[in-house]
Chain A
Amino acid sequence: MYVAAKGGEDAIQHAEALYHALNGTVTPELVHQILDHMPYLVDRVMGEGSLYAPELAALALAQTGGDLYEAVLLLRAYRSTQPRIAYATAITAADLLTVRRISAAFKDIPGGQVLGPTLDYSHRILDLDALDGIAPTPTAPAAADQPAPRSYPAVADWLRGQGLMPPAQPDPTDPADLPDVTTDAVLFPAPRAHRLQALARSETGGTLALGYASMRGYGLVHPTVNELRLGYAEVGMTHPLTGEPFSAGRARLSFGEVVNSGGSGDKRGFALGFTATLGWNEVKLIAGSTLDLEMSASDPHPAHTEEFVMYHTEPVESSGFCIHFKLPHYVTFASNLDAVRRVASLIYGESESVSVGTHNNGSSADTASAAGTHNNASAVHDASAVSVEAS
């Protein structure tokens, strides 16, 4: 009995034990297998969990049997109490150690299109031989004729140089003073920092659903992918004692930009939608940057409403609320039952219903006077007296 008239505490401990028993033991080997062989899954948990910690993300996946929402919740709950030791220095597109960058807006771009690691142009055929232990023989990636450049310019900068996009406005705010969606009370209209942070940790499926609705025809424009990049970012820090800048490590990072010329209304240039996230997640980047471009449009569609987009793509909140309907609701249901029974008796005259229902013909004046003969504090009891008199 899940409402557990008795022994709720005991029941939940056994239920949890059964869950873990069915999912098998979590070992360091399992965690590192996940880490090594499922980087995109780990990326997704880190991105939505908004914590760059590959080992912890892999552990979260192992511990939850691969339940993405549970894994993200584990990481978020761990993250929410971690101290902020310092803020990394801001990076630009040119700082990203890029392994893949493409632009759909131009055939070629300064620095070149770099396909990098992708399945985009592959045949999606199950490799059934792998089941028989016949290892697929992947072609070893060939080395390029010359080493890749250290950095690539931003495609958007070219558009800016052409006067097709307003110049970038560097934000001089100290990173520590930026609005922070995880520690601020979120209000609407939200600062752009909140919006971009919310998109960075938004749920991929939810972001795709709203972004897709927009792209499919509910949107205002056809987004063009101006640039999509996967790479590694140096976590730039300043040493607290020596003041020397240093790198505290590298994080897998990706960002996407879409442009359109219709949104601003004047057609004088292009507007830019942007999304960046921890890990590599191209679907989210394109959907998210489309939403970034459109979610302030004065249009009633949900995908064009900042509040709607931000609230409904939150993985921890949406999944948590959805599954909360498994909790017992018998008190609220009883309250609704009462209202339904009252309507059934008063409006539809179903006699077997509660006694107040037998009081169909009594005028309100009768009711008041009848009730008035009793102690006015006994409101609940009064109704019973009324119904007896009326019947």
Chain B
Amino acid sequence: MTALADLAHPRQDYSYAFLDASAKRELRRRILKAVAIPGYQVPYASRELPIARGWGTGGLQASLALVGPESVVKVIDQGADDSVNAANLRRFITRMSGAATTTDAARASILQSRHRIPEERLGAYQTLVLQVPDPEPLRGVQSDISKAHEMHADSDYGQLWLLLYEQLVRFRQYVQGASYPALVNGRYVISPSPIPRWDNPKLHQTPSLTILAAGREKRLYTVPPYTNVIPLEFSDVPFQVEDQRGWVCRTTGAVNKFMNELPQSDGSAMYELSDSGYAEKLKNDLPTAPTYYDENGGFYHDGYLKPPVILP
């Protein structure tokens, strides 16, 4: 007699790169749409993954939809390759795809990152996948997603400008920390994900593709190659990156790159490069790719960053 088990297909392993074909197809279509409309938040279904929601599942879905056996993957968290969550995500991507991994930003074809963009300039055919907790730059002024959607449609960003204006009135400067909003291709305002302001300019006119994906919030958007990304700023008070002048990396001696501030027991602080892959190269005297900021803090697009103006 035929047993029920004989009729059922054998237990299957997971699909290549974990996601099933229909999920991958959806993600790839949504990514293409997002590339076609720079900065526009494309809704997608967002599948559950075997890591906790809010721990990079959006970025992970984008990476899994892109990854192939020939890919070289770099995963960083706060700039560090060996941060525990980055290690976990990297382990998962390679376990499911067989892709090679690297800590070298210049070698990676897919760079998944939480909260940082590497210091070395990314080139064409490199994809930066940023993990996004909150894709909606209007959330602070409009919590209703349907209404925020209409505001985007109308380019109605007045309330964001008002927010900046209020900051100037109260503090004589912009006081937003990370996630500083930026206008993409002159059309949509995005949240660049919680990258420090230091990294905002790196999105501008870069040959690489940037995909920003929020898993919990189920939205993804992109900055396509060679696209204008301008942080919101009034013409007379320019946007400012973090002020870390005089901070010297304790292991490499590097300056004018984004640093981690390490509190010391005597109340003072030491500094260390946040970008661990770049630090590794400096330590081992390996050749580095050109960086976004030079030794003097000058940004590679001349004139993009303007001198600070402090209101009286």
Contact = CB atoms under 8 A, between A and B. Distances in A.
Interface of A: 2-9, 11-12, 73-74, 76-81, 83, 182-189, 305, 307, 316-317, 319-324, 327-332, 334-339, 341-343, 346-347, 354-356, 359, 362-364, 367-368, 371-372, 374-384, 386
A361 B218 CA distance: 48
A332 B173 CA distance: 19
Interface of B: 14-15, 18-20, 22-23, 26, 30, 42-45, 47-55, 57, 77-80, 82-88, 91, 114-116, 133, 144-146, 170-173, 175-179, 194-198, 216, 218, 236, 238, 240-246, 256, 258-261, 274, 276, 293, 296-299, 301-312
Given A317-B216, A331-B116, 7 more contacts: A186-B218, A327-B55, A329-B115, A334-B259, A355-B243, A356-B308, A379-B306
A329 B178 CA distance: 11
B152 to A, nearest CB: 14
A111 B173 CA distance: 72
Contacts of A189: 146
A356 B297 contact: no
Contacts of A2: 84
B298 A4 contact: no
B196 A332 contact: yes
A317 B217 CA distance: 9
Nearest to B114: A327
B215 to A, nearest CB: 8
Smallest CB-CB A-B distances: 9 pairs = A320-B53, A371-B307, A380-B297, A185-B43, A379-B305, A321-B54, A336-B177, A324-B54, A8-B87
18 contacts: A4-B80, A11-B87, A183-B22, A185-B43, A305-B144, A307-B145, A316-B53, A322-B54, A329-B78, A335-B242, A336-B177, A338-B242, A342-B243, A343-B173, A347-B170, A371-B307, A377-B303, A380-B305
A75 B76 CA distance: 28
A330 B260 CA distance: 7
B298 A81 contact: no
B256 A380 contact: yes
Specify which of A5, A328, A331 lies most central, judged by the most chain B CB atoms within 10 Å of its CB.
A331
Contacts of B114: 327
B53 A321 contact: yes
B310 A12 contact: no
B310 A320 contact: no
A8 B82 contact: yes
Contact of A376 (B26, B45, B276, B306): B306
Contacts of B83: 3-4, 8, 328
B77 A73 contact: no
A80 B49 contact: yes
Contacts of B245: 354-355, 380-381, 383-384
A349 to B, nearest CB: 12
Given A5-B80, A323-B54, A346-B310, A377 B298 contact: yes
Contacts of A9: 82, 87, 91
B196 A335 contact: yes
Given A188-B145, A330-B260, A335 B302 contact: no
B19 to A, nearest CB: 7
Contacts of A354: 243, 245
A77 B50 contact: yes
Given A77-B48, A371-B308, A379-B306, A7 B172 contact: no
Nearest to A343: B171
Nearest to A187: B43
B308 A382 contact: yes
Contacts of A321: 53-54, 133, 216
B241 to A, nearest CB: 6
Contacts of B244: 338
Contacts of B47: 80-81, 182
Contacts of B293: 380
Given A12-B84, A320-B216, A381 B53 contact: no
A230 to B, nearest CB: 27
A80 B22 CA distance: 11
Contact of A81 (B20, B78, B146, B306): B20
A249 B146 CA distance: 41
Contact of A8 (B30, B86, B259, B312): B86
A78 B13 CA distance: 11
Contacts of B52: 73, 316, 319-320, 323-324
A379 B299 contact: yes
A323 B19 CA distance: 24
A342 B172 CA distance: 10
B243 A324 contact: no
B48 A379 contact: no
Contacts of A188: 145-146
B298 A328 contact: no
A321 to B, nearest CB: 3
B18 A81 contact: yes
A378 B44 contact: no
Given A77-B48, A80-B47, A372 B307 contact: yes
A269 to B, nearest CB: 29
Nearest to B20: A81
Contacts of A317: 53-54, 216
A380 to B, nearest CB: 3
A152 B52 CA distance: 42
A104 to B, nearest CB: 35
A308 to B, nearest CB: 8
A187 B240 CA distance: 36
Contacts of A80: 23, 47-49
Nearest to B261: A334
Given A339-B175, A342-B173, A79 B48 contact: yes
Given A320-B53, A324-B55, A376 B303 contact: yes
B22 A328 contact: no
A80 B20 CA distance: 8
